[in-house]
Copies of this chain bind each other. A is one copy, B any other.
Amino acid sequence: MSLHAPKLAPRDCGDCQIRHRAVCARCDGDELARLEEMKYYRSFQAGQNIVWSADRMDFVGSVVSGIATLTQTMEDGRRQMVGMLLPSDFVGRPGRAIAPYDVTAVTDLVMCCFRRKPFEEMMATTPHVAQRLLEMTLDELDAAREWMLLLGRKTAREKIASFLTILARRETGLKAKTPKGQISFDLPLTREEMADYLGLTLETVSRQMSALKRDGVLELEEKRRITVPNYDRLAEETGDDADGGMLA
């Protein structure tokens, strides 16, 4: 669930601006103050599970730093990642007590949380917050549907390229549609996590990364550090049409 550029500049509200922008870009001072009182922080270590599927989830919140993933697992162990949460992304389901998937910290992670009940009560009395959450949920739904196209119809090479363009876009300012020229960034996920995201095996991920490197689409100086010499060249590999593809 990613953050749209707020319509209004975020107000200064202590050390947790990210969270306020995420859930309350258009709130007035009172609402900000009420949110401020309710918040608390939780830290997680890399690899630590935050919520298990089918468990109660008694909080909502935003990622302050680090990366979390949402995954679904079948009885026999097949896994599919269904969401990746980067800083400023929102976690949680107002009105829903039970988590339908595992939430896991893949790096060290700090979240800014609100207990679910009082948050919901506040939501009921401040229409802006409900509307903001609806917007964010619609964004997530768009992203999920784009991902369904990727999972159902793209080749392994296109999947990898699509994934990298998403990271590249997150890197160069939130949601900039067409970054230009050379971009470097770290891969936040292991090959296996990428495979779970893309509906592939880790071997196929590794092979396709090597192939893209061989073809000059990217450089891999450190296995987890990538340089894309030419964003447009990478974008051609995604199978999306030229004008951006992942746009909402």
- Chain A: residues with CB nearer than 8 A to chain B? 70, 72, 74-76, 78-80, 82-83, 93-96, 100-101, 123-125, 127, 130-131, 133-135, 137-138, 140-142, 144-149, 151-154, 198-199, 239-241, 247-248
Contact = CB atoms under 8 A, between A and B. Distances in A.
A189 B76 CA distance: 30
A123 B133 CA distance: 13
Contacts of A149: 72, 74, 80, 82
5 contacts: A74-B149, A74-B241, A96-B138, A124-B131, A148-B151
Nearest to A125: B127
Contact of A144 (B76, B144, B239): B144
Nearest to A142: B100
Contact of A83 (B75, B76, B133, B145): B145
Contacts of A74: 149, 153, 239-241
A223 to B, nearest CB: 24
B134 A82 contact: no
A124 B124 CA distance: 12
A151 to B, nearest CB: 4
B80 A148 contact: yes
Nearest to A70: B145
A133 B241 CA distance: 31
B137 A138 contact: yes
A153 B83 CA distance: 15
Nearest to A76: B239
Nearest to A139: B96
Contacts of A134: 94-95, 130, 133-134, 137
A93 B134 CA distance: 10
Contact of A130 (B70, B131, B142): B131
A152 B163 CA distance: 15
A83 B222 CA distance: 40
A130 B83 CA distance: 24
